[in-house]
Amino acid sequence: MEKSTFRVKVGLAEMLKGGVIMDVVNAEQARIAEDAGAAAVMALERVPAQIRKDGGVARASDPEMIQSIQKAVNIPVMAKCRIGHFMEARILEALEVDFIDESEVLTPADEDFHIDKHAFKTPFVCGCTNLGEALRRIGEGAAMLRTKGEAGTGNIVEGVRHLRTLRTQIRRLTMLGHEELMTEAKILGAPFSLIEEVAAAGKLPVPNFAAGGIATPADAALCMALGAESVFVGSGIFLSEDPARRARAIVEATTYWEDPKRLAAISTGLGTAMHGIEMEKLSEAERLAKRGW
Amino acid sequence: MAKTIGVLALQGGFEAHARILRGLGHAVREVRTAADLTADGGLDGLVFPGGESSTMLKLIGFSDLWAPIDAFVRSGRPVLATCAGMILAAKAVAGPEQASFGWLDVDVTRNGWGRQVHSFEATTDDGAVRLVFIRAPRLTRLGDGVEVLHTFDGEPIAVRQGALVAASFHPELADEPALHALAFG
């Protein structure tokens, strides 16, 4: 028996495809998420919009809070650690969370080095804004990717940018000759072997989900149409008027994204979505997607 | 002969199953609605993939799929159910209790090997099949009519009852087409 191989790590990501991963801050929200059909929950102390509002240093959550959520639900429980903070990650692994998100939503602990994720038994998910960043994270051992979008804004524009960028860059790779790939690896700053793999397969070697700014069923469906294999919803559910209903609607929209009539029905009467922020109102320092490299 | 096999595509690992089925020469249809079960002369078989069984149950409820799926399987057409799929097929589910179709006379416990850090790769006791277990369910009771196909560490992990083949592991993640071939030819 061989535990926690890369295949086993990516295997869990495969099983989460088409499912919605919801941010929750307590056991009660976790139960609401599971009842609405969430495929997993992300346990954290404050949703990204609240972190934005409060300011200060955002760190990994209190183990007691994570354990209370593990007790409350039977779907996988994920938790976030700061970029580069391998000690927070070790603590999360000791708690047996099912996935660790090395996340730009928390305040980075290391501006030069991300965590060596191959050194862990727990699978990692990491954010990306383009193909080079995606492949660097896979090179470090990430078993799942998510676009960063701009967390806590309820604004899908950055998520769309990142999904489209990835898709265009992957397509470009498939059209290049083998002799052109090393130069591409240099330009993208990505491992050559992974560049070769993507050029041959036309897709990333691990599942890629969308995250950052998803607030409506239509946002989730848009991300699926742009090539996301599922979605993370952070502030969008529990900062809306009717979280249980919106959660279920986003779950349905992620499965039935190709059926506009069904999406119309799903989107009806959900109450007010989270308020949201325009990108122009955010200073460069407030842009979470710029964290990590 | 090439058949058209449906793969329940509400959530989970349906794409990997589709790849294996196509490799065996079958046509594949993703099933998300009752109409997908019956369109164009219907389907010759159905796969219940891995994923989150509680999420699939919700989506089956949201889309009124319980009765059409139940009727399809009870018609006796071949079925392959892996991991979460096996949980849906079982007679009784523990850890915690949840609804199931009960086609397969077995009881299962969800996440029977523990959380993700305990997920593992191995081979069957006879060394014939590579195994990938992801937060896998465990078979805790087998009915009289249930035939054991594979064991790991002495315990049953793949079974057959009539036209229904079920496994607690993921043959689709290990490029192992044998169970698909057994179920659908």
Query: Which pair of structure tokens corresponds to residue A288?
Result: 């979470």
Given a cut of 90, is residue A17 above it in pLDDT? yes
Average pLDDT over residues A103-132: 98
Q: Is B96 on the interface with A (CB under 8 A)?
A: yes
Q: What percent of chain B has pLDDT over 90?
A: 99
Q: Is B14 on the interface with A (CB under 8 A)?
A: yes
Q: What pLDDT digit, counting tens, does each position of A268-280 carry?
A: 999 999 989 999 9
For residue B94, list chain A residues with Cβ-Cβ distance below 8 A. none
For residue B81, count CB atoms less than 10 angstroms from its CB and return exposed for 0-12, middle for 13-18, buried for 19 or more: buried
From B26, B150, B172, B180, the catalytic residue: B172
Q: What is the mean pLDDT of chain A?
A: 96
Give the C-alpha separation, A231 to B94, whole Å. Answer: 29
Segment (H or E) for B131: strand B130-133
Interface test with B, best of A15, A96, A262 (most B CBs within 10 A): A15
Given a cut of 90, is residue B183 above it in pLDDT? yes
Average pLDDT over residues A238-253: 97
Q: Specify the long-range contacts of residues B154-158, CB closer than 8 Å, at least 24 apart.
A: B154/B125, B157/B124, B157/B131, B158/B124
Residue B48 confidence (pLDDT): 98
B180 is a catalytic site residue: no
Q: Is B135 on the interface with A (CB under 8 A)?
A: yes
Average pLDDT over residues B79-101: 97
Average pLDDT over residues A236-248: 96
Give the C-alpha separation, A135 to A145, whole Å. Answer: 9
* Nearest residue to A254 (alpha-carbon basis) of A72, A45, A40, A48: A40
Contact A7 B132 (CB under 8 A): yes
Q: How many CA atoms lie within 13 A of A26 on its CB side?
A: 2
Average pLDDT over residues A119-135: 98
Specify the DSSP class assigned to residue A127: E
Given a cut of 90, is residue A285 above it in pLDDT? no
Q: What pLDDT digit, counting tens, does each position of A51-106 carry?
A: 999 989 999 999 999 999 999 999 999 999 999 999 999 999 999 999 999 999 99
CB-based contact A144:A210 (threshold 8 Å):
no
Average pLDDT over residues B156-178: 97
Residue B2 confidence (pLDDT): 81
For residue B11, list chain A residues with Cβ-Cβ distance below 8 A. 17-19, 39, 255
CA B97-A254-B81 angle, to 5 degrees, is 45
Q: What is the ipTM of this complex?
A: 0.96
Residue found under tokens 């927070």: A88
Average pLDDT over residues A10-20: 97
For residue B112, list chain A residues with Cβ-Cβ distance below 8 A. none
Q: What percent of chain A has pLDDT over 90?
A: 96
CB-based contact B82:B167 (threshold 8 Å):
yes
Give the domain extent around B64. Answer: 4-184
Cα B167 to chain centroid distance, Å, stands at 6
Q: How many CA atoms lie within 13 A of B36 on its CB side?
A: 19
Residue A178 confidence (pLDDT): 97
Residue B1 confidence (pLDDT): 66
Sign of CA dihedral A244, A224, A120, A5: positive
**Cα nearest neighbour of A252 on chain B:** B59
Q: What is the mean pLDDT of chain B?
A: 97
Specify the DSSP class assigned to residue A69: H
CA A20-A26-A29 angle, to 5 degrees, is 45
Give the C-alpha separation, A4 to B97, whole Å. Answer: 27
Average pLDDT over residues B151-164: 98
Q: What percent of chain A has pLDDT over 70?
A: 100
Give the C-alpha separation, A34 to B185, whole Å. Answer: 37
Residue B153 confidence (pLDDT): 96
The CATH code of the domain that includes B38 is: 3.40.50.880
Residue B154 confidence (pLDDT): 97
**Which one of A1, A123, A256 has the shortest CB-CB distance to B122?**
A1
* Total domain count, chain B: 1
Q: What pLDDT digit, counting tens, does each position of A167-225 carry?
A: 999 999 999 999 999 999 999 999 999 999 999 999 999 999 999 999 999 999 999 99
* Nearest residue to A243 (alpha-carbon basis) of A75, A20, A66: A20
A80 is a catalytic site residue: yes
Give the C-alpha separation, A147 to A75, whole Å. Answer: 22
